[in-house]
Amino acid sequence: MIVAANFKTNLTRYQTREYLSRLEAFIHDNNISQEVFIFPTATSIYSHAGKVNIGIQNAYPTKNGAFTGEIGTDQLDEFEIRTVLIGHSERRHVLGETQEFIANKYQFYKEHGYKIIYCIGEPLEVRKSGTSEMMSYLDSQLVGIDMHYENLILAYEPVWAIGTGVTPTNEDIVSLHSALRRTCTASILYGGSVKADNAKEILSLKNVDGILVGSGALDVDDFCSMINDAENIKLNKEINR
Ligand code: PEP
């Protein structure tokens, strides 16, 4: 399973280093075999040789150049960062990224072989307008995206669940993930108000291959507890196979 933490604009470089060393110790001491990612702020990325994969929350589709405030592959290479988050709802709805721009970014990082966690999710008004509207909204977020890219990880994150403490019902998560499963062979993560106390239930659901966690992962002990849940669920699934 995949367990990923998006720090957003939280934690300093010093705090991230502390977090990472506690996380590595936990993974080592508990023989964790799950795939673990953290996405710190751009000022807190490291060249890191441990088990934890460090990804970047955002990067511009360029090697370098005149793009004030942005970073490109030259800067990522310096820290051996090979994973990028693309399409996050805050980039779409707060920072104004269009689907066309997101698709260009996806294409660029795909051509450079990066692992991409690609996020999609509908706002509340779309969810309220019915299943077919919701599915066509989600389809519109897949325009220009190669769903068969071998380094794609898909994350379904309903906008109304992000940072609100509200999650879809288990049935809704399963039905959405099952619909997405028909479009690709990529691992599919659920994101949106996952916390230490609901991670186990969500990770157990059919067609949920992992979780992408925001505020619930800022405390490293909580994140470790979610990783532990993923480890136990994976073991149970293997035993019951
Ligand atoms: C996110 O922003 O990717 C996210 C899932 O946030 P939260 O867990 O805080 O809802």
Supply the pLDDT for residue 234: 79
Closest CA to 146 of 178, 118, 121, 182: 118
Atom of ligand 1 nearest to the CA of 193: 10
Contacts of 30 (CB under 8 A, 6+ apart): 228, 231
Q: Which of 3, 57, 212 to mutate to test the pocket of ligand 1 (most atoms within 8 A of CB)?
A: 212
Q: What is the four-CA torsion angle of 106, 110, 116, 118, rounded to 10 degrees?
A: 30
Cα–Cα distance measured from residue 163 to residue 192, given in angstroms and rounded to the nearest whole number? 7
Distance 112 CA to ligand 1 centre (A): 27
CA 6 to ligand 1: nearest atom: 3
Which residue's alpha carbon is at the smallest distance from atom 3 of ligand 1? 214
Count CA atoms within 13 Å of residue 8 on its CB side. 15
CA dist., res. 116 & res. 105, Å (int): 10
Residue 151's SS3 state is coil
Q: Atom 4, ligand 1: which residue's CA is nearest?
A: 214
pLDDT of 241 reads 46
In angstroms, the CA 155 to CA 138 distance is 12
User: Which pTM does this prediction carry?
Assistant: 0.96
Catalytic positions, please? 88, 157
Return the H-helix or E-strand segment holding 117.
strand 115-120
Residues paired with residue 39 on neighbouring β-strands, in sequence order: 6
Q: What is the dihedral of CA 28, 202, 115, 121, to 10 degrees?
A: -150
Q: Which residues pair with 85 in a beta bridge?
A: 117
Domain spans in the chain, listed from the N-terminal domain onward: 2-239
2-239 belongs to which CATH class? alpha beta
Mutate which of 3, 215, 226 for ligand 1 pocket (most atoms within 8 A of beta carbon): 215
CA-to-CA dists, residue 188 to 41, 179, 185, angstroms = 24, 11, 9
pLDDT by residue for the chain (241 residues), tens only, comes to 999 999 999 999 999 999 999 999 999 999 999 999 999 999 999 899 999 999 999 999 999 999 999 999 999 999 999 999 999 999 999 999 999 999 999 999 999 999 999 999 999 999 999 999 999 999 999 999 999 999 999 999 999 999 999 999 999 999 999 999 999 999 999 999 999 999 999 999 999 999 999 999 999 999 999 999 999 997 675 554 4
Rounded Cα–Cα distance for residues 220 and 224 (Å): 6
Atom of ligand 1 nearest to the CA of 161: 10
